[in-house]
Amino acid sequence: MSQISAIILSGGLSTRMGEDKCLLSYNGKTFLQTQIDKFKKLGIEDIIISGFRGSGVKEKIIADDIMKGPLSGIYLGLKNIKNECAFVVSVDTPLLRESIIKEMIEYSKSIVFDAVVLRHNEVVEPLISIFKKNVLDKLSKYLDGKNFNVRGFLELINLKYFEYKESEVAFFNVNNKSDYDKLKNMC
């Protein structure tokens, strides 16, 4: 799996949560360490943490000085990866399993794409995706505009979907304290 990098998006301001989601605990580890460990288990060594304002990790941290949402985190991450593509995930999806990441990576090897995005039951998860570095020019131009919507950008590139048919619990996104309480009750 060393031919792919990983970008963990962690630059949100956590305004709905009220505290940094990277540092929330899940099964005895922070959300950030949970995501890092998944990629390491898969043999992915080039891991970029985009937007994290903390410390205490060995992986490369890239400050988000653009501050245009997840797209700027993806852009800055892609500019700093060592490989030609990267698995992109937000820090606040701790239930995402390594097996799903592995399946998506294997699927991406058999197709021509600029981005592969997970879709389950017609629900698109743009922050569980694989991006190729070749989108950097288009992404830079897009970020120069007024729209920073990930879905809007995806419409401009060669997008493929990875269709996932099993449990949707793996894509549970922790946005606020109520979501965090639900997560703790799932464990």
Give the model confidence (pLDDT) of 69-122 as tens digits.
899 999 999 999 999 999 999 999 999 999 999 999 999 999 999 999 999 988
Would the pTM count as exceeding 0.75?
Answer: yes
Q: What percent of the chain has pLDDT over 70?
A: 94
* CB burial readout 123-137, b (16+ within 10 A) else e: ebbbbbbbbbbebee
pLDDT at residue 175 greater than cutoff 90: no
Task: Give the per-residue pLDDT at 114.
Answer: 97
User: Where does residue 90 rank: exposed (0-12), middle (13-18), buried (19+ CB within 10 A)?
Assistant: buried
Domains of the chain and any CATH numbers: 5-186 (3.90.550.10)
pLDDT at residue 11 greater than cutoff 80: no
